[in-house]
């Protein structure tokens, strides 16, 4: 996978669906363009005639609270008194002409590719989403005796089984907490020498998973400086399951699990939240491991 493809994947993680449209928020766009959010919005206001409602709209309070609750990287918006701007694909395209910089043009090309990739993903998986939503609606309408409820729940899991999770990629749906933990503990147990976990939000439940590693396997965790893990937690873990090293970084948004410096997993959820909401994982090209470790 080339570097521009990896960047497109990272941009896709910032594309949200609000009011039935794929959009990106001003904060995420400003970060990609390398400018302050305030400056980006000032330029938009100066050129307001270029941004009709189908190009840009302001989130209401409920929508803001929802994105803060569902998107880890937007938690800082919780303390902002301002309501963020949401830009549709057309609005993002217009931004390059407003910002008038070489970087804005280059970034916009990547963003446009990300929007296209998201459309392809939704189109290619439309049948999957339709079947799952249909079964959910059927279950919500059920108001009969327990036997009938059990039968319909079995139908739901039968449908999910059609999209089996293997060791290279897969999707875990909301509520599949045990299945998700079991799968990732299996990945951990395959390590012979080393495990590297890059995850901004770790707590003791993550160490509970890592204790299933084989004896003698070293573990390094890269996480935010304000992690819930303490030095005492690390010492206590190492007393039984050596050796764990805790390092801090603010360079990463996505989660990665690296096994023996040969297998690279890209994970859509923090290991402490596996199965709480729908998420996916996939194995990336191992040639990317060096680039990722070099940017920590």
Contacts of 26 (CB under 8 A, 6+ apart): 37, 40, 41, 44, 84, 85, 86, 87
SS (H, E, C) 26-72: HHHHHHHHCCCHHHHHHHHHHCHHHCCCCCEEECCHHHHHHHHHHCH
Distance CA 193, CA 269 (A): 24
pLDDT score for 251: 94
Residue 233 has pLDDT above 50, yes or no: yes
pLDDT score for 81: 86
With a pLDDT cut of 90, the percent of the chain lying above it is 44
Residues forming beta bridges with residue 279, ordered by sequence position: 172
Mean pLDDT lowest for which of 158-162, 175-179, 190-194, 236-240? 158-162
pLDDT score for 195: 96
Q: How confident is the model at residue 165 (pLDDT cuts 50, 70, 90)?
A: low
Over residues 184-202, mean pLDDT: 93
Q: Are 6 and 288 in contact (CB under 8 A)?
A: yes
Q: How confident is the model at residue 191 (pLDDT cuts 50, 70, 90)?
A: very high
42: Cα separation from own chain's centroid: 29
pLDDT score for 6: 40
85: Cα separation from own chain's centroid: 21
Mean pLDDT lowest for which of 31-45, 144-158, 213-227? 144-158
Mean pLDDT lowest for which of 125-129, 177-181, 226-230, 286-290? 125-129
With a pLDDT cut of 70, the percent of the chain lying above it is 79
Distance CA 187, CA 210 (A): 10
Q: What angle do CA 289, 294, 296 make, to 5 degrees?
A: 100
Q: How confident is the model at residue 1 (pLDDT cuts 50, 70, 90)?
A: very low
Distance CA 181, CA 275 (A): 8
More confident residue, 12 or 270: 270
More confident residue, 219 or 166: 219
Residue 137 has pLDDT above 80, yes or no: no
Distance CA 121, CA 6 (A): 16
**Complete domains list, the chain, with CATH:** 3-123 (3.10.260), 125-163 (no CATH), 166-294 (3.30.870.10)
Q: How confident is the model at residue 164 (pLDDT cuts 50, 70, 90)?
A: very low
pLDDT score for 159: 52
The reported pTM is: 0.46
Name the E strands within 114-272: 169-172, 194-198, 218-223, 244-248, 255-259, 263-267
pLDDT score for 134: 67
Residue 51 has pLDDT above 70, yes or no: yes
Residue 34 has pLDDT above 60, yes or no: yes
Contacts of 80 (CB under 8 A, 6+ apart): none
Q: How confident is the model at residue 140 (pLDDT cuts 50, 70, 90)?
A: low
Q: For residue 294, what are its two tokens?
A: 């070099």
In tens, the pLDDT along 167-189 reads 788 888 888 888 888 888 889 99
More confident residue, 151 or 163: 151
More confident residue, 128 or 195: 195
Q: Which long-range contacts (CB under 8 A, 24 or more apart) does 232-240 make?
A: 233/204, 233/207, 237/207, 237/210, 237/211, 240/211
Over residues 148-168, mean pLDDT: 59
pLDDT score for 2: 44
Q: How confident is the model at residue 163 (pLDDT cuts 50, 70, 90)?
A: very low
């Amino acid at each position: 996978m080339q570097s521009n493809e990896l960047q497109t994947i990272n941009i896709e993680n910032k594309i949200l669906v609000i009011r039935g449209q794929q959009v990106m928020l001003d904060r995420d766009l400003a970060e990609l363009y390398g400018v302050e959010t305030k400056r980006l919005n000032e330029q938009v206001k100066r050129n307001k005639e270029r941004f009709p409602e189908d190009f840009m709209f302001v989130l209401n309070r409920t929508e803001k609270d929802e994105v803060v609750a569902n998107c880890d990287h937007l938690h800082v918006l919780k303390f902002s008194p301002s309501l963020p701007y949401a830009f549709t694909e057309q609005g993002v395209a217009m931004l390059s002409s407003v910002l008038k910089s070489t970087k804005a043009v280059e970034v916009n090309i990547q963003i446009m590719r990300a929007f296209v990739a998201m459309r392809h993903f939704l189109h290619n998986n439309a049948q999957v989403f339709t079947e799952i939503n249909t079964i959910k609606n059927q279950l919500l309408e059920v108001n009969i005796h327990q036997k009938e409820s059990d039968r319909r729940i079995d139908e739901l899991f039968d449908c999910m089984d059609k999209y089996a999770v293997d060791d290279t990629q897969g999707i875990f749906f909301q509520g599949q907490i045990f299945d998700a933990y079991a799968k990732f503990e299996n990945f951990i147990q395959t390590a012979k020498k080393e495990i590297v976990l890059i995850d901004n939000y770790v707590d003791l439940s993550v160490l509970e998973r890592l204790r299933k590693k084989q004896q003698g396997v070293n573990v390094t965790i890269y996480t935010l400086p304000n992690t819930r893990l303490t030095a005492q937690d690390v010492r206590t873990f190492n007393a039984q399951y050596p050796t764990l090293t805790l390092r801090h970084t603010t360079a990463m948004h996505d989660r990665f699990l690296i096994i023996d410096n040969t297998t690279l997993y890209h994970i859509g959820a923090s290991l402490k939240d596996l199965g709480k909401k729908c998420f996916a994982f996939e194995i990336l090209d191992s040639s990317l491991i060096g680039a990722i470790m070099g940017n920590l």
